[in-house]
Structure 1
Amino acid sequence: MFTPTAGSRRLTLALATVTALALGVTACGGTTKDSASKDGGTAAAGKADPNAETKKDLTVAFLPKQVNNPYFTTADNGGKKAVEELGSTYKEVGTSSGTDTAGQVSYVNTLTQQQVDAMAVSAQDPGALCTALKQAMKNGVSVVTYDSDTNKDCRQVFVSPASAEDLGRTQVQLLSEQIGGKGEIAILSAAQTATNQNTWIDFMKDELKKPEYKDIKLVKVAYGDDDAQKSFQQTQGLLQEHPDLKGIISPTTVGIKAAAQYLSGSKYKGKVKLTGLGTPNDMRAYIKNGTVDAFELWDPAKLGALAAHAAVALESGRITGAKGETLTAGDLGTFTIGEDGVVSPGEPTVFDKSNIDKFDF
């Protein structure tokens, strides 16, 4: 899906990188893209100039957790559209697995060697990418994370899907309504190291401590690694291991679809409730056939677009990622960067029979 574009100097470096990777070299270094380096953390070197001219003819690379994942395809297409509207070149690279952290590290190193201007990365692991991302910033590459963050000093801006706390708590609230506030529940997550998943799950567990959930018991957190077949099998395993299970929360678009697929063809359809984070197109059939009552998600295209605007704004010097700075993002509107360089496109939407046909992503 990537279409690399660069001058002869970048092309030479890219060819050199391929050779290096073939020899198993993953460390990055060499000639920097420019003399300005980023110092990591929530601010780039220097001070933001919100009136600075937006640079054009940049190369902005997107590195999702997993390519060919419908969610990330939608998000990255949103990023592509925004990058091109801003007059720059978009490219995408990534692994086909949602757990190949070594592969993600190699891609970051390769992009650094190719001297892209900025990269937007959805981290599979909170710490594994840090060394590579810090080297990218040292070499003058602006670094944004989106959907799933790394450590805060390993990027400049994190574009969060929505408030992590809101996402964790609202998924519990949705399921509680569906099961009448009592019974055993389970969580079907993605990878065990996924930053965003674990943060949401922590808030789910905290929400469950409230008195109104005293009759709900979380019996297990299972991991499907954002693999459809494994998530399907994990759903089957949860129901075999816990025959009294009343509901499942799956905060991953791959997981919730796989769980719905299993439930829809089983004796548990309509009896075991399922909610979480999914796309309307993936979940429409399961809403309409009664397998799922309601689920939620933000618009991933807006998430990708905001990541693109943040990347270009960083590279243009309009923002540094510091708290209180203003990020102007075209039709998306204007956003204020929060604590630790976090910015979000807005609250999630709950999808059910009444509104699911109004959305197409």
Structure 2
Amino acid sequence: MHTRTTARRRAAMALVAACTLAVTVAGCGGTTKVDTKSESTDKGSDSKADPNAPLKKGLRIAFLPKQINNPYEVIVDKAGIDAAQEYGGTAKEVGPSDASASSQVSYINTLIRQKQDAILIAANDPNAVCGPLKQAMSRDIKVVSYDSDTAKDCRQVYINQAGSEEIGRSLIRNLGKQLDYKGDIAILSATQNATNQNTWIQFMKDELKKPKYRNMKLVKTAYGDDDDQKSFQQTQGLLQAYPKLKGIISPTTVGIAAAARYISGSSYRGKVVINGLGTPNQMRNYVKDGTVEQFSLWDPGKLGYLASYAAAALSSGQITGVEGEKFNAGKLGDYTIGKDGEIILGPPTVFDKSNIDKFNF
């Protein structure tokens, strides 16, 4: 009898201890039904946007680039930080020195603890940052991706540099004007399976179907695999295989620089037009020596500026990230949120002798 009583007492004490432990762990951040709800992603679907709400003063936002000292990212983030001053907020840039997939996670966790109003991220990996970004949103910290998107459910909006269709069609439009809409052309791409390149090329081909391009013919799409030397050799091969070639479009920064380098030191200089996507610093000399008349890319300063205003609009309740919502982005004017929370900056910027020295990236 004594043995049974003792056993019952021990069992009861063990049960109490287990319950006490469970409560203690839950209070330190363990998962309970309440915790699960609080950790769920809240993209603002239950809240309603008020487009007439004023921008809040004193907002605190943080830019988290792929890599802290990347010259391109510095321009983006500085413009966004300056924009915050316009609407009475404060902004900063933090981030890793390397661009590995998980290098941004610890910074997100720190920004959550600091209770920032918004985190703006150029994701190194679309999925590696999702967990902490969802935690941020569950704590009413707004998340804006820019330049490089996260998975769609890990942010409220994504600021895209330019629409894929606009990039592809504008490259053909620009080259067409330079060639007076006549002659054989070629494309020097990156890799054969590069999603963005192939999307742009498809729109290029579609643009070429329009009547005004009837005297322009795409003779070849070559692939330099985003390797400088291979792109250089592919340019040489195109010109040897197609002696009547009048223009080359390279929608990759590596390819256009390699093509320009080859043309600049050959008899084709001044005879074959090079166009595509490049950065001002890598293309400056080729523009100034006449090898390249123009090329395109988006203005990184405007990208950061727009991202900053989008974060402010989210934090102030003007938008929630739903398609069709509108907000004002200061000197850039009004913007409308598109499908999947995408906001497109606008047409690519065309760089030439008149403006190239205004940019440093």
Matched, 1:39 2:42: yes
Percent sequence identity over matched residues?
Answer: 45
TM-score, with length taken from structure 2: 0.71
- C-alpha RMSD of the superposition: 3.7
Task: State the Cα deviation string for residues 282-333 of structure 1 (Å, max 9, x = none).
Answer: 4333222121122223322111111111123223333211123222223333
SS at match of 1:274: strand
- Whole-angstrom CA distance in 2 between matches of 1:270 and 1:131: 53
1:173 corresponds to:
173
1:259-293 residue CA offsets vs partner (Å, 9 max, x unmatched) = 43454344543344321233445433322212112
Residues 262 and 123 of structure 1, relative CA distance in 2, 3 Å threshold = farther
Distance 1:271 1:138, change over 3 A: farther
Alignment map for 1:1-361 (pairs within 5 Å): 38-40=41-43, 43=44, 45-50=46-51, 51-64=53-66, 68-85=69-86, 86-94=88-96, 96=98, 103-108=100-105, 110-115=107-112, 116-123=116-123, 130=130, 133-138=133-138, 140-178=140-178, 181-189=182-190, 197=197, 199-208=199-208, 212=213, 215-224=217-226, 230=227, 232-242=228-238, 243-244=240-241, 246=245, 247-253=247-253, 255-280=255-280, 282-353=282-353, 355-356=354-355, 359-361=358-360
User: Hey, what's the Cα distance between the residues in 1 that align with 2:139 and 2:266?
Assistant: 54
Whole-angstrom CA distance in 1 between matches of 2:30 and 2:79: 32
| Alignment partners' CA distance in 2, 1:258 and 1:110 | 36
How many residue pairs get aligned? The number is 316
Bigger shift: 87-96 or 159-168?
87-96
Q: Structure 1 CA distance, aligned partners of 2:117 and 2:192?
A: 30
Instruction: Give, as a single letter, the amino acid of the residue that structure 2 aligns with 1:301.
Output: G
CA contact (8 A) 1:314 1:321 kept: yes
1:184–1:244 Cα contact (<8 Å) kept: no
**Residues 292 and 309 of structure 1: CA distance in aligned 2, closer, same or farther (over 3 Å):** same
Structure 1 runs of 4+ with >6 Å offset: 29-32
Contact 2:64 2:104 in 1 (8 A): no
Q: 1:57 Cα shift? A: 4.8
Cα distance, 1:46 vs. partner? 2.0
Q: Please name the residue that 2:8 is paired with.
A: none
Match of 1:23? Answer: none
Tell me the distance in 1 between the aligned counterparts of 2:73 and 2:192: 16
Alpha-carbon shift at residue 126 of structure 1 (Å): 5.7
Residues 54, 321 of structure 1: alpha-carbon distance in 2 compared, 3 angstrom cutoff: same
- The answer for unaligned runs of 5 or more in structure 2 is 1-28
Q: Which runs of 5+ in 1 are unaligned?
A: 1-28, 225-229
Check whether the contact 2:102–2:125 (CA below 8 A) recurs between aligned residues.
no
Contact 1:249 1:276 in 2 (8 A): yes
The structure-2 alpha-carbon separation of the partners of 1:199 and 1:92, relative to structure 1 and needing over 3 Å to count, comes to farther
**SS of the residue 1:215 aligns to:** strand
Q: Is the 8 A contact 1:62 1:119 kept in 2?
A: yes
Once structures 1 and 2 are overlaid, which stretch shifts more, 340-349 or 262-271?
262-271
The DSSP-based 3-state class of the residue aligned with 2:84 is helix
Q: Report the TM-score, using the length of structure 1 for normalisation.
A: 0.71
CA contact (8 A) 2:232 2:258 kept: no
Deviations 1:313-357 (A, max 9, x none): 22333321112322222333332223332223433343334x336
User: Matches of 2:192 and 2:124 in 1, distance apart?
Assistant: 8
The alpha-carbon deviation at position 236 of structure 1 amounts to 1.3
